[in-house]
Homo-oligomer: A and B are copies of this chain.
């Protein structure tokens, strides 16, 4: 039971002055900051959230937030990535062959939105990005670009980046009509029915030259 004890772990590398207490750091501080950021951005929106507010909610120094993530924009990007977990999930979605890729991608996306824990922050992110250029830029540069390129790099079609973004646009639009505007009949449709219809579309975009 001594292995993995926080007090034995090497302290994280630091810029600037050390934080006030040892309890602030440790292996959980980064996660705590991210969860706090996600909650703050969800509840206040992009423009009213500050690094100071996130630090307070996480019970750490603002300096530690900067240390782990850099600027507010970078915390925002990391909080978005927390919902999508691209590093964990994208290899699975891509799998070993492109067969069924469209359906896996649609299933993953709908799954993230169907999960209330990730839906709330995603709603906040979309609202912020639609109304604040700074938030739009984060979504464009840090999230979309990274996420889409990671998929495009693995595809063997001409114009892969364009095609991946077209696929993404369909999923973004479903999120807008189903989860944001809650327009029927899409808002109440069975997720499996949506995935079954949209999967072949994504498959065509991503694999058919």
A positions within 8 Å CB-CB of B: 126-127, 129-131, 136, 139-140, 144-145, 159, 161-163, 165-166, 168-178, 180-183, 185-186, 189, 193-194, 197-198, 200-201, 204-205
Contacts and interface: CB of A to CB of B under 8 A. Distances in A.
B144 A166 contact: no
Contacts of A126: 130
Given A173-B176, A186-B162, A181 B144 contact: yes
Q: What is the total number of copies of this protein in its complex?
A: 2
A181 B186 CA distance: 24
Nearest to A130: B130
Contact of A165 (B136, B140, B186): B186
Contact of A173 (B127, B173, B186, B193): B173
